[in-house]
Structure 1
Amino acid sequence: MKIKPLLAPTLTAIGLSMALAMPTTAFAQTCKVTDPTGTPLNARATPNGKVIGQVKNGTTVYVSEYDYDDKGRPWVLVFHARTDRYIGWVFREFISCY
C-alpha cells in the first residue's frame, strides 16, 4: 500500500503532537519521598528556590525532570503520583526511586 506524499508527514506531525500533549508524568519515574528527618519535604519553585509547599514523607511521586542548583546539588521536579498534581522541585537526596 502506497501512502500519498502528504499523508506520511501529516501522520508524523499528528503522532508528534499527541506525544507532546501528554502530561509531563507520562514518561516519569515513580519514586517516594524519604526524608530522613521525618518532617515534610519543602517543595520549591526552582532548584533551591522559593518554598511553594511541602510534601509528606512516604508520598509516592513522579519525577519528571532533573537539574542542579548553583552549588551543584541535584534537584528533581515532582508531581503527586495519585493526582498528577504539580508539587515542585525537591532535593534529590530525599527521593528514593524504584
Structure 2
Amino acid sequence: MTTLVFASTFSLNSRANAQNMICTVTDPTGTPLNVRDRPNGKVINSLRNGRDVDILDIKSDNRGRPWARVAGYHNNRYRVWGWVIREFISCYES
C-alpha cells in the first residue's frame, strides 16, 4: 500500500511540474522537426523551430532513444500532433 501511495503522489507531482513547464521545438538543423505517428514511426507532420508544445508522454524506441508525444495550439485550436525525438524539445519552468 505504501508503494501505491508513493507512486500516486509521484505521478501527481510529475503532472503538476509538467504544467509549469514551457517547451519549444529547438531542432539544431534549423529545418522543421518531423512529427511521427509513433516513436520512430511514419512521418505525419512537421513543426517549425520556436513552436511551443506540451509534452503529453515520453516513450523510448527500440534503440532506447526517448520520444515525446506533443500537442499545442494551431489556429486557436488545441491538438495532439504526434511523436518527436525528445532531444529537439527544450523545456524550462514558467
1:91 to 72, 85, 91: 85
Percent identical across equivalent pairs?
A: 53
* Cα distance between partner residues in 1 of 2:55 and 2:20: 5
Q: TM-score, normalised by structure 1?
A: 0.68
Does the 8 Å CA contact 1:28/1:63 hold for their aligned counterparts? no
1:51 corresponds in structure 2 to: 43
* Cα distance between partner residues in 1 of 2:24 and 2:54: 8
Q: TM-score, normalised by structure 2?
A: 0.71
CA RMSD in angstroms, aligned pairs only = 1.9
Q: Kindly state the Cα deviation for residue 86 of structure 1 after the two structures are TM-superposed.
A: 1.3
Matched, 1:35 2:48: no
Bigger strand fraction: 2
Give the aligned length. 73
41-50 vs 81-90, which moves further: 81-90
* Cα distance between partner residues in 1 of 2:81 and 2:88: 14
Deviations 1:31-82 (A, max 9, x none): 0000000000000000000000001110000001000000000000000146
Q: Kindly state the Cα deviation for residue 30 of structure 1 after the two structures are TM-superposed.
A: 2.9
* Cα distance between partner residues in 2 of 1:50 and 1:78: 15
Question: Unmatched 5+ residue regions in structure 2?
Answer: 1-17
Runs in 1 of length 4+ with deviation above 2 angstroms?
26-30
Question: Unmatched 5+ residue regions in structure 1?
Answer: 1-25
Larger-gyration structure (1/2): 1
Q: One-letter code of the match for 1:62?
A: D
Q: One-letter code of the match for 1:80?
A: G
